[in-house]
Structure 1
């Protein structure tokens, strides 16, 4: 008995370094970011079976063979659509302030739609106003309603949006709903899918999880976009999921979620519709449908200007060859000359963005980061807090919002340029989620977002560097230990 245990222990002792070495070679081969690579090697060294099992599920970014094939099939038509926008709105980049023209070029190079002028844009920060505005637009629809969300949580005013879709379908409006399977799990288990389907609304689960296919693709790649597009002329996007805050996560202990959305009228709404069409084609497998949409777009006249705003829609996600939204955030911060103000619910940045924020503050840029005082994840809370000391030392001002879970994602540079959409400043949004961001090249609108950020600041408490440095040793140990896991969160 003793001999058997000794033999088994010796075998494990010999196999362990071999497992870690082979795993390290795999990490080197796929060229993971250093922080991510070291975190995974640490986990596998400490807990080999758990670590390797987790890596097989979520360690790399394979989108799965079927998804990859569909994306490759749609790519030529998508490129033609981008060229069509360029042809219809020629030399729009020249209308942008010279300092930010390179941002537009970078965004389009990395897979974004071209910037388009002639848009109407309205910022809304009250959930009920937003939801009722969506309902009014759906009720006024003449041809189509396209809905895409990470979360649809039944209850309250969110149910009225469903009723509006049923009314629209009854009028003969083509209604489609694309929802993340995991994020909208409560919706998919409710009576709503049957009700909408029976009314003629088409529904698809995005990023559906197939247990038998997990070895070919990650289970945690999620569709995090928020888009409501009506008649290719009106669209809503931003941070609010299809939820009534009074009925959503009331037991999370963080208060009501605080969000903002924009209502777009004009060519940029057509760009958002195009992004929805691409997502629908990939998730449904109807690649021909996107080609038909392209042919339809070619026949339509160039839309008349609805307003004065110049907007660029930028989708991002793991299907792109580069982490495009990470590059755009980095460029925006490094381009700042006077001021950068950011709001995000989850702050677990990659090394590049973390260094960029410190660098900007050190060269005299007024950098302000607004985050919620409480979030719905302990791991994220500890990981986020682990970055604060270095940011404060560099001169970054950090404010903790006390009026609920601040969920608005915004970045304003020099009160002239704004990034606004669904992207959190964390590893998941930067690398794993399918996100949507609007780049708005306008001082007037940037001023509106800054005014909203000031409202958040009025309900926030600044972190004092001296007080922060005196935190209990155990708290700092928890934070620093969690930071080792940050690349994996």
Structure 2
């Protein structure tokens, strides 16, 4: 009897493995992604099934945030008065249309953008805006820690809640997995509405553990918003313990805040099933500049990978320069090839990475891509004072990309992210000066030192590269 049960188990297990392999094949994925999963499932079926369940399922056809909801919310952003407005540069008009088609991201005019390059300045600015709030405060963070910084924010929010200001908070369930429930409950007791995005609950949502909300958004009274790379935690102010934490965050005043509002309310609707609208969430605001921007959300569910498509298009259309800051460089083949092609064509391509990151494994995988980049003529800069966590893309003299997305598989394929594409020469020049200042504190990698690194390190980098889609 035991032998019969063993045969039945082996038969069912084999059918399961074969079924999963057939599902992967019929999903018509990129062959570079399909073959590794098949190999793992065939040669290490137990481990392969576990990893596939958590990290491998293709959920792109599912809808967490419906296109109808996103479109309905975005309709409030459309401006009817076009007299006297600046125009999107001709070179970038197709890019703007791409975002309108794929993400309902409409061009927004006249915003004032203030950059912050350290956590203390950003936190002070955010708290100042919270103190001025009169109607509502909307916050969304991947990480919201119960530490000195988190408690400082909590106390400021509680004070405003007691004044009658409506406060809504979204946090990521995995990003905040180490935070005790009491921290969030202390805010709920004060009337603050706070929810985890995409709860990881066994068994229903366990397969979605690989899909996280990495956005960092704050909107105060619909008039001021914040976007960038800084979460709420002490390390974003004090550093990682072995240097400074160099990051970028931005205060947006004017119509751009409405774009952040639409992104937040789309996620709020998906999480709580509450549809929030009304003129009080999109108040009239002044025009503070001639700049134009688009707030572009992107996520793993749905057909398009909007930020990957946008960055790839912009890089391919660059004429003079492409300057990049990213903490992790794990690019798709399309993006990697576009950067190498641009460098070979004589365009000034610079890639700034941290000399040391917060992940040794990611460092090794990132470095495996640098050989071909250097051979193509890309200038590689290693930022030395601490951990470079900034996300920045400067194209030519009139396009700048800021926001939450790293230049890696996770941000482009698996995370919910939001970037601002800014069509503004003045802002572009300001960010270029910040990049150049960081470059003066960086080590410019030379081919001689890079290609003479130990062979054992090269092998380790190549091995880690295999796992780059999962990092």
- Return the TM-score normalized by structure 2: 0.92
Q: Which residue of 2 aligns with 1:143?
A: 135
In the alignment, which of 90, 95, 99 is matched to residue 103 of structure 1? Answer: 95
CA contact (8 A) 1:147 1:227 kept: yes
Quote the offset at 1:212 in angstroms.
1.6
Q: Which residue of 2 aligns with 1:86?
A: 78
Q: Does residue 460 of structure 1 match 2:451?
A: no
2:65 is paired with a residue whose SS is helix
Q: Which moved more, 1:339-348 or 1:377-386?
A: 377-386
CA contact (8 A) 1:156 1:247 kept: no
In the alignment, which of 224, 233, 238 is matched to residue 214 of structure 2? Answer: 224
Quote the offset at 1:61 in angstroms.
3.3
Q: Does residue 239 of structure 1 match 2:233?
A: no
Q: Which residue of 2 aligns with 1:172?
A: 164
Q: Which residue of 1 aligns with 2:120?
A: 128
Q: Does residue 485 of structure 1 match 2:462?
A: no
CA contact (8 A) 1:128 1:244 kept: no
Quote the offset at 1:20 in angstroms.
7.1
Give the whole-Å Cα distance in 1 for the aligned partners of 2:145 and 2:283. Answer: 38
Kindly tell me: are residues 18 and 285 of structure 1, through their superposed partners in 2, closer, same or farther at Cα, counting changes over 3 Å?
closer
1:440 is paired with a residue whose SS is strand
Q: Does residue 212 of structure 1 match 2:203?
A: yes
Q: Provide the aligned length of Structure 1 versus Structure 2.
A: 466
1:423 is paired with a residue whose SS is coil
Q: Does residue 416 of structure 1 match 2:398?
A: yes
CA contact (8 A) 2:111 2:292 kept: yes
Kindly tell me: are residues 190 and 301 of structure 1, through their superposed partners in 2, closer, same or farther at Cα, counting changes over 3 Å?
closer
**What aligned pairs does 1:40-55 form with structure 2 within 5 A after superposition?**
40-55=37-52
Q: Which residue of 2 aligns with 1:327?
A: 309
**What aligned pairs does 1:384-403 form with structure 2 within 5 A after superposition?**
384-403=366-385
Quote the offset at 1:23 in angstroms.
4.7
Alpha-carbon RMSD: 2.7
The C-alpha deviation readout for 1:51-109, integer Å capped at 9, x for no partner, is: 122112210232797xx3x633xx33432333342343659997011111111111111
Give the whole-Å Cα distance in 2 for the aligned partners of 1:214 and 1:246. Answer: 30
CA contact (8 A) 2:299 2:417 kept: yes
Kindly tell me: are residues 402 and 273 of structure 1, through their superposed partners in 2, closer, same or farther at Cα, counting changes over 3 Å?
same
The C-alpha deviation readout for 1:456-489, integer Å capped at 9, x for no partner, is: 2112112211221112111111111221222332
In structure 1, runs of 5+ residues without a counterpart are none
Give the whole-Å Cα distance in 2 for the aligned partners of 1:170 and 1:186. Answer: 28
Give the whole-Å Cα distance in 2 for the aligned partners of 1:431 and 1:416. Answer: 27
The C-alpha deviation readout for 1:92-141, integer Å capped at 9, x for no partner, is: 99701111111111111110420111211111112111101100100000
The C-alpha deviation readout for 1:220-279, integer Å capped at 9, x for no partner, is: 21010000100011001111111232777846xx53432111111111101111111111
CA contact (8 A) 1:61 1:318 kept: no
Q: Which moved more, 1:113-122 or 1:371-380?
A: 371-380
In the alignment, which of 187, 191, 199 is matched to residue 196 of structure 1? Answer: 187
CA contact (8 A) 1:316 1:434 kept: yes
Give the whole-Å Cα distance in 1 for the aligned partners of 2:372 and 2:282. Answer: 53
Give the whole-Å Cα distance in 2 for the aligned partners of 1:249 and 1:53. Answer: 35
2:357 is paired with a residue whose SS is coil
Q: Which residue of 2 aligns with 1:316?
A: 298
Moved over 4 A (4+): 14-24, 89-94, 246-251, 298-302
In structure 2, runs of 5+ residues without a counterpart are none
Quote the offset at 1:219 in angstroms.
1.5
Kindly tell me: are residues 227 and 126 of structure 1, through their superposed partners in 2, closer, same or farther at Cα, counting changes over 3 Å?
same
Q: Does residue 61 of structure 1 match 2:58?
A: yes
Kindly tell me: are residues 298 and 401 of structure 1, through their superposed partners in 2, closer, same or farther at Cα, counting changes over 3 Å?
closer
Q: Which residue of 1 aligns with 2:248?
A: 260
CA contact (8 A) 1:340 1:365 kept: yes
2:323 is paired with a residue whose SS is strand
